[in-house]
Amino acid sequence: MKRLLASIHDVSPRFEGEVDRLLDRLAPHVGQRLAMLVVPDHWNAAPITPAFTRRLRAWADAGIEMFVHGWSHLDDSAHRGAAALKAKHMTAGEGEFLGLDHTEALARMRRGKALVEEATGRAAAGFIAPAWLYSDDARRALGDAGFVLAEDHAKVWRPDTGRVVARGPVITWASRSHPRQLSSLAASALLRRLLQPSETVRIAVHPGDVRVPQLLDSIDRTFAAFRRHVPARYADLLAPPAARASSTD
Q: Return d(Cα 19, Cα 29) in angstroms, integer.
A: 16
Per-residue confidence band for 77, with pLDDT thresholds at 50, 70 and 90 = very low
DSSP 41-81: BGGGS-BPPHHHHHHHHHHHHTT-EEEE--SS--------H
Query: For 200-213, what is each residue's pLDDT tens digit?
Result: 999 999 999 999 99
Residue type, 98: L
Reduced to 3 states (helix: H, G, I; strand: E, B; else coil), residue 204 is strand
What's the predicted TM-score (pTM) here? 0.91
In this structure, how many other beta carbons lie within 10 angstroms of the beta carbon of residue 54? Answer: 11
Q: Higher-confidence residue: 91 or 182?
A: 182
* Residue-level pLDDT at 93: 57
Q: Return d(Cα 242, Cα 240) in angstroms, integer.
A: 6
Q: What kind and span of H or E run contains 137? A: helix 136-144
Domains annotated for the chain, with CATH where assigned, are: 3-246 (3.20.20.370)
* Residue-level pLDDT at 244: 52
164-167/35-38 β-pairing: unpaired
Tell me the mean pLDDT in the region 237-249: 62
Per-residue confidence band for 95, with pLDDT thresholds at 50, 70 and 90 = confident
Contact 66, 38 (CB under 8 A): yes
* Residue-level pLDDT at 80: 55
Which residues, other chains included, contact 136 with Cβ-Cβ below 8 Å and sequence gap of 6+? Answer: none
Q: Return phi, psi of residue 183, to 5°.
A: -65, -35
Alpha helices, DSSP H only, in 81-135?
81-89, 102-120
Tell me the mean pLDDT in the region 125-132: 97
155-157/164-167 β-pairing: antiparallel
Tell me the mean pLDDT in the region 167-184: 95
